[in-house]
Amino acid sequence: MRLLFIFLDGIGLGENNPETNPFARAKMPNLNQLLGGRSLLKDAAPFHGEHASLVAVDPAVGVKGLPQSATGQAILLTGINIPAELGYHYGPKPNPDVAAYLKEATLFSRFTKEGKKAALLNAYPPRYFDGIDSGKRLYSSIPLAVISAGLPLFRHEDLFAGRALSADFTGEGWRTMLGFRDAPTMGAAQAGAKLASLAKGYDFSLFEYWASDYAGHKQQMENAIELMETFDAVLGGLVDAWENGLILVTSDHGNMDDLSTRKHTAAHVPALVIGDKAVREEFIRDMKSLTDISPAIWKTVMRD
């Protein structure tokens, strides 16, 4: 069965406090409808409705300290309690200890070995690869897992050809921030439909949205609200165009859920699952921590 994994960086299930939590203020009608009128807040989970299920997932995995990006993303891709094995959370980019887990044990490498088609649907600009080649930039956990599986990272040519999406969904950032004045752009709902179309070509696909974590660290309430309202429109277009399989939306740690701090939070993260009700029930059964997500993805995609 096909599965699309939308990774929202730094999203926790926080308190219903409009002073600190953009999810208590953002207008997200598509998400609200999926959740029976609920918002993406601490008291929304667990939920199991007609079209979607939501459970709260522990990102700390029994290890002291605040969850971090490198280890959290590596857990999502491997199902291994890496912080417990190492004795610490680590981030933002993987150190050699974390990177070792991303070489062979990830969903990307395992699906590839089984003959399944897998891809990271983000397009990366030339300066990203220039930074990698010069040693000034390190891969984060997700792209490192992709290249370690022998899969390509999509480039600007793929964005222009319609084979990948920009990190902001709509492509506006490629024009305004990266200087590609002729970069293709689209509305948020159209981007959601495009994401559904791209996912049809793969058994397992992932889209990484890192802007949410950036807004959290910068404590930018208005920007955070705007980002989540855009994401909601993307989600609406995606769900309308989705035909079969599961959509999973989850995160690696809390952050944007509490803008009173620049640090990560101890909040549980959402695991939002959209698709067939019986398949959703099986997917979330006994799901309690980040370590449970990768095995559930594996089982779902391999059920064919």
Sign of CA dihedral 99, 298, 55, 22: positive
Average pLDDT over residues 131-160: 97
Cα distances (Å, whole numbers) of residue 223 to 228, 230, 256:
9, 10, 11
Q: Is 223 helix (H, G, I), strand (E, B) or coil?
A: helix
Residue 173, both tokens: 């950032």
Check pLDDT > 80 for residue 2: yes
Closest CA to 126 of 183, 172, 170, 47: 183
Count of structural domains, the chain:
1
Check pLDDT > 70 for residue 5: yes
Confidence of residue 205 (pLDDT cuts 50, 70, 90): very high
Mean predicted lDDT score pLDDT of the chain: 96
Check pLDDT > 90 for residue 304: no
Check pLDDT > 80 for residue 75: yes
pLDDT at 35: 97
* Residue-number span of the structural domain to which 182 is assigned: 3-205+212-301
Average pLDDT over residues 264-282: 96
Amino acid at position 287, single letter: M
The DSSP code sequence of 64-122 is: SS---HHHHHHHHHH---HHHHHTS---SS--HHHHGGGTTSSHHHHHHHTT--EEE-B
Instruction: Say which residues have a Cβ less than 8 Å from residue 200's Cβ, sequence separation at least 6.
Output: 2, 243
Check pLDDT > 90 for residue 303: no
Instruction: Say which residues have a Cβ less than 8 Å from residue 137's Cβ, sequence separation at least 6.
Output: 128, 131
Check pLDDT > 80 for residue 164: yes
Confidence of residue 72 (pLDDT cuts 50, 70, 90): very high
Confidence of residue 156 (pLDDT cuts 50, 70, 90): very high
> What is the rounded CA–CA span in Å between residue 137 and residue 124?
13
Check pLDDT > 70 for residue 275: yes
Average pLDDT over residues 292-298: 98
Task: Express each pLDDT in 18-45 by its tens digit.
Answer: 999 999 999 999 999 999 999 999 999 9
Specify the CATH number for the domain of residue 194. Answer: 3.40.720.10
> What is the rounded CA–CA span in Å between residue 185 and residue 298?
33
pLDDT at 104: 84
Query: How are the residues of the chain apportioned to helix, strand and coil, as percentages rounded to the nearest 5?
Result: 40, 15, 45
CB distance 132 to 86 below 8 Å: no
Residue 34, both tokens: 């999926």
